[in-house]
């Protein structure tokens, strides 16, 4: 049969050879392949593998607050191009993102909203706090309305200082975060004390008593205690 003759033909190719033509394509002759030798398998721990995956394909939440977000946009844009580091897929929805860069001053009115956005992100999730405001309130720390750092509300992995940090600094911060994720070290996602409380659960001081008639007990609230803030 003609098919038999083809099978026994000296030119018979494996499927791989048929796909690649004669010899291995140049593109496959990477350093990695050399290291692997003849075996196309790598043995590693699943956790290490996942850490490597997470650190190399980070989906960033498109999240702009203030001045820092302008520099963040520059970081995403031409010249700095965060994408080169495997960390540049901006997602508009928190449900599709695993890294949130907090770029700007957080004020009392925005605090609960940011908390909600953070809560909507799937785990594992990571936080980069960008700029002095998200570290401590920055130049506005003495203001009556300014939360003294993102860490009052959500757990932060990496702080990038500056007012605002240059795009290079943010790239460095993100690279450091990738390094840490790759090593499997990140801040634990803590539920308390960051959670919004129900109004009825608050300690009944003067303020809470005053508001008690106006606010439903089941209402989620955030309490800012400026005195105890760092």
The 3-state DSSP class for residue 61 equals strand
| Binding of residue 225 to another protein (CB under 8 A) | yes
Q: Which two tokens stand for residue 126?
A: 């990571």
Distance, in Å, from the CA atom of 203 to the CA atom of 130, rounded to the nearest integer, reads 33
Site for another protein (CB under 8 A): which residue of 58, 72, 117, 156? Answer: 117
Among 113, 183, 201, 217, binds another protein (CB under 8 A): 113
Stretch that binds another protein, among 36-44, 46-54, 62-70, 179-187 (CB under 8 A): 62-70
User: Contact, 127 vs 150, CB < 8 A?
Assistant: yes
- Number of Cβ within 10 Å of residue 127's Cβ equals 26
Give every CB contact of residue 116 below 8 A, 6+ residues apart in sequence. none
Which residues pair with residue 10 across a beta bridge?
none
Name which position in 42, 144, 193, 204 contacts another protein (CB under 8 A). 144
Q: Which residue has the tokens 């030119």?
A: 11
Q: What string of H, E and C letters represents the secondary structure of 96-137?
A: HCCEEEEECCCECCCHHHHHHHHHHCCCCCEEEEECHHHHHC
Q: Considering beta carbons, is residue 166 or 176 the nearer one to another protein?
A: 166
Please provide the distance, in angstroms rounded to a whole number, between the alpha carbons at the two ends of the chain: 86
Candidates 97, 101, 102, 114; binder of another protein (CB under 8 A) is 114
C-beta of 159: minimal distance to another protein in Å? 18
- Residue pair 150/134 in contact (Cβ under 8 Å)? The answer is yes
134 binds another protein (CB under 8 A): no
Q: Draw the binding track, 170-209, toward another protein (x: CB under 8 A; -: no contact).
A: --------------------------x--x--x--x-xx-
Q: Is 145 in the site for another protein (CB under 8 A)?
A: yes
Task: Provide the binding-site residues for another protein, judged by CB under 8 A.
Answer: 62-67, 69-71, 73-74, 77-79, 90, 92, 94, 104-105, 107-117, 139-140, 142-146, 163-164, 166, 196, 199, 202, 205, 207-208, 210-211, 214-215, 219-227
């Amino acid at each position: 049969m003609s098919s038999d003759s083809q099978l026994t033909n000296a030119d018979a190719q494996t499927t791989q050879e048929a796909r690649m033509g004669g010899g291995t394509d140049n593109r496959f002759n990477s350093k990695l392949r050399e290291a692997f030798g003849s075996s196309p398998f790598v043995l590693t721990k699943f956790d290490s593998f996942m850490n490597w995956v997470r650190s190399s394909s980070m989906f960033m939440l498109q999240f702009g607050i203030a001045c820092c977000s302008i520099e963040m946009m520059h970081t995403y844009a031409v010249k700095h191009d965060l994408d080169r580091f495997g960390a540049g897929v901006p997602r508009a929805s928190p449900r599709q993102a695993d890294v949130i860069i907090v770029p700007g001053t957080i004020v009392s009115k925005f605090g609960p909203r940011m908390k909600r956005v953070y809560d909507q992100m799937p785990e594992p999730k990571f936080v980069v706090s960008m700029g002095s405001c998200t570290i401590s309130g920055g130049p506005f720390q003495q203001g009556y309305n300014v939360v003294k750092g993102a860490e009052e509300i959500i757990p932060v992995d990496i702080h990038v200082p500056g007012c605002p940090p240059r795009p290079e600094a943010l790239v460095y911060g993100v690279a450091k975060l990738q390094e840490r994720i790759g090593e499997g070290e990140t801040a634990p996602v803590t539920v308390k004390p960051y959670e919004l409380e129900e109004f009825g659960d608050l300690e009944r001081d003067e303020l809470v008593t005053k508001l008690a008639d106006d606010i439903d007990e089941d209402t989620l609230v955030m309490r800012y205690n400026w005195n105890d803030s760092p």
